[in-house]
C-alpha cells in the first residue's frame, strides 16, 4: 500500500518558531549586505552621491527589476501568469506608497544630510513604530510591556553599536526628520502587509508593489535631474543582485507577516544595523568595526531582545492564524494551546442521549 503524500500547509509551516527565526535571520543577513553593496555600486556606476535624483533613479531601477523577478518566478512556479485580483489593486498601490515610494524617497533624501551613524540609529526606530502600529493602529495584536522592553533593548543595541561614531544631538527636518518619516512608512508597510495578506498572496502583492513603486521612483528621479552613467558588467551584476535581495527578502517577510504576529518578525530588524556593520567590515575592509567590543555587545543585547519578544511577547494568548472561513485548523503551533475547548466535545453527551431515544 502506498502512503498518501502529506499536503504542504503554509499556515502550519510559517507559524513555527524555528521558521520565524531562520526566515527573519536570513532577511536580516541579506539586508545587511545591501549597504556595502550599494556603496560599491555607486562607485562602479560613477554616481554623483550629492545628486538626490540620481540616487532615487538608482533605487527605482533596482525595484523595477525586483518586481519583474518576483512576478516572473512566481508565474513560472505556478505555470500561469500571476496578477492581483481586481479588488486588490488598491492594496497594491497603498503598500507600494508605504514600502517603496515614500519609504525610499524620504530615506535617500535624509541620508544625504546626516552621517551613517545617525541613519543607523534612526533606522532602529522602525522596530518601535512597527509594533506600535500593529498594536494600536491596525489592532492585529495585543500590546504588552514585554514587547516594549524588547523594543527598548533592541534600540539600545543599535545605539551601542554606534557609540564612538560621529553622533550629535542636532535635528533637522530634511535630515533626521526625513529618516524618521522613512522608518515610519517602513513600519506602516509591515503592519499593512499583515492585513492585506489576508486578501492577496504575498508574492503577488510584493511583486506588483515593487514594479509600481519602482516606476514611480524612476520617474521622480528623472524629474529631479537624476542620471546613471553607462557602467561595466560588474556594476550591472551587483544591481541585479540587489534586486534579487529585495525580491527574495520582502516576499519571504510577507509570508512570515501573514501567518505570525508582527512583533515576532519586526524585532529581528534590530539586527539589520548589526549585520550591516559586519558586512561593511568584510566587504569594505572596515576592520575596526568588526573587532569593536561595541559591535559584539550590541549583537548580544539585540539577541536577548529577540528572545524576550518571541518567547514571552504573546504569552497571554495563541496568535490568530489566517485561514479562510470554515476551514478547520490543522494543528496548534509548538508550545501553544487552544484557549477554549472545542464545542463538539461539550455537546457529545447530549447528542448521544438523543440518538438513544431517551
Predicted pLDDT at 317: 54
Predicted pLDDT at 14: 86
- 29-47 pLDDT per residue, tens: 888 788 778 878 888 888 8
In the structure, what pLDDT confidence band is assigned to residue 333 with cuts at 50, 70 and 90? very low
Q: Given a cut of 60, is residue 261 above it in pLDDT?
A: yes
Share of the chain above pLDDT 90, in %: 24
Predicted pLDDT at 201: 92
- 124-159 pLDDT per residue, tens: 667 777 777 778 777 777 878 887 887 787 777 777
In the structure, what pLDDT confidence band is assigned to residue 171 with cuts at 50, 70 and 90? low
Predicted pLDDT at 345: 40
For residues 108 and 194, which has the higher predicted lDDT (pLDDT)? Answer: 194
Q: Given a cut of 60, is residue 328 above it in pLDDT?
A: no
Residues 64 and 220: beta-carbon distance below 8 Å:
no
Residues 25 and 17: beta-carbon distance below 8 Å:
no
Predicted pLDDT at 212: 96
- 14-27 pLDDT per residue, tens: 888 888 889 988 98
pTM of the model: 0.73
Q: Given a cut of 70, is residue 190 above it in pLDDT?
A: yes
52 exposure class (CB count in 10 Å sphere: 0-12, 13-18, 19+): buried
Mean pLDDT for the chain overall:
77
Predicted pLDDT at 316: 52
Question: What angle is formed at CA 260 by the lines to CA 255 and CA 262, rounded to 5 degrees?
Answer: 100
Q: Given a cut of 80, is residue 184 above it in pLDDT?
A: yes
Q: Given a cut of 80, is residue 282 above it in pLDDT?
A: no
For residues 170 and 222, which has the higher predicted lDDT (pLDDT)? Answer: 222
For residues 196 and 2, which has the higher predicted lDDT (pLDDT)? Answer: 196
Predicted pLDDT at 343: 43
The stretch 236-249 carries a mean pLDDT of 91
Q: Cα 285 to the chain's mean position, in Å?
A: 27
For residues 122 and 218, which has the higher predicted lDDT (pLDDT)? Answer: 218
Other C-beta atoms closer than 10 Å to the C-beta of 9 total 13
Predicted pLDDT at 41: 83
Q: Given a cut of 90, is residue 74 above it in pLDDT?
A: yes
**What are the two backbone dihedrals, phi and then psi, of residue 63, each rounded to the nearest 5 degrees?**
-80, -25
Distances, alpha carbon 169 to alpha carbons 158, 166, 265, 295, in Å: 16, 10, 30, 21
Lowest-pLDDT range, 45-59, 104-118, 235-249, 298-312? 104-118
- 342-353 pLDDT per residue, tens: 444 444 444 444
Residues 276 and 32: beta-carbon distance below 8 Å:
yes
Share of the chain above pLDDT 70, in %: 74
Predicted pLDDT at 287: 60
Q: Given a cut of 50, is residue 88 above it in pLDDT?
A: yes
Most confident region among 22-36, 57-71, 262-276, 283-297 by mean pLDDT: 57-71
Distances, alpha carbon 189 to alpha carbons 73, 238, 310, in Å: 23, 26, 21
Amino acid at each position: 500500500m502506498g502512503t498518501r503524500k502529506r499536503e504542504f500547509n503554509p499556515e502550519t509551516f510559517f507559524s513555527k518558531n524555528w521558521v520565524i527565526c531562520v526566515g527573519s535571520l536570513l532577511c536580516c543577513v541579506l539586508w545587511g549586505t545591501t549597504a556595502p553593496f550599494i556603496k560599491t555600486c555607486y562607485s562602479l556606476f560613477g554616481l554623483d552621491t550629492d545628486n538626490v535624483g540620481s540616487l532615487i533613479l538608482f533605487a527605482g531601477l533596482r525595484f523595477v527589476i525586483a518586481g519583474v523577478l518576483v512576478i516572473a518566478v512566481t508565474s513560472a512556479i505556478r505555470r500561469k501568469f500571476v496578477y492581483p485580483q481586481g479588488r486588490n489593486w488598491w492594496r497594491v498601490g497603498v503598500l507600494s506608497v508605504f514600502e517603496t515610494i515614500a519609504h525610499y524617497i524620504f530615506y535617500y533624501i535624509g541620508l544625504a544630510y546626516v552621517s551613517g551613524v545617525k541613519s543607523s540609529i534612526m533606522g532602529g526606530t522602525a522596530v518601535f513604530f512597527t509594533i506600535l502600529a500593529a498594536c494600536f493602529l491596525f489592532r492585529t495584536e495585543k500590546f504588552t510591556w514585554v514587547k516594549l522592553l524588547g523594543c527598548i533593548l533592541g534600540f539600545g543595541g543599535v545605539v551601542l553599536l554606534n557609540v564612538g561614531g560621529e553622533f550629535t544631538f542636532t535635528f533637522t527636518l530634511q535630515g533626521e526628520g526625513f529618516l524618521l518619516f522613512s522608518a515610519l512608512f517602513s513600519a506602516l508597510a509591515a503592519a499593512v502587509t499583515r492585513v492585506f495578506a489576508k486578501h492577496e498572496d504575498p508574492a503577488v502583492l510584493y511583486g506588483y508593489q515593487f514594479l509600481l513603486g519602482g516606476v514611480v521612483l524612476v520617474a521622480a528621479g528623472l524629474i529631479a535631474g537624476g542620471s546613471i552613467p553607462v557602467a561595466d558588467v560588474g556594476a550591472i551584476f551587483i544591481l541585479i543582485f540587489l534586486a534579487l535581495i529585495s525580491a527574495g527578502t520582502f516576499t519571504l517577510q510577507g509570508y512570515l507577516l501573514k501567518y505570525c504576529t508582527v512583533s515576532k518578525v519586526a524585532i529581528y530588524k534590530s539586527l539589520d544595523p548589526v549585520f550591516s556593520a559586519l558586512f561593511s567590515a568584510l566587504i569594505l575592509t572596515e576592520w575596526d568595526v568588526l573587532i569593536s567590543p561595541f559591535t559584539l555587545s550590541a549583537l548580544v543585547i539585540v539577541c536577548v531582545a529577540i528572545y524576550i519578544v518571541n518567547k514571552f511577547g504573546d504569552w497571554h494568548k495563541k496568535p490568530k492564524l489566517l485561514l479562510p472561513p470554515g476551514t478547520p485548523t490543522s494543528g496548534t503551533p509548538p508550545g501553544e494551546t487552544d484557549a477554549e475547548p472545542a464545542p463538539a466535545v461539550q455537546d457529545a453527551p447530549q447528542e448521544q442521549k438523543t440518538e438513544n431515544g431517551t
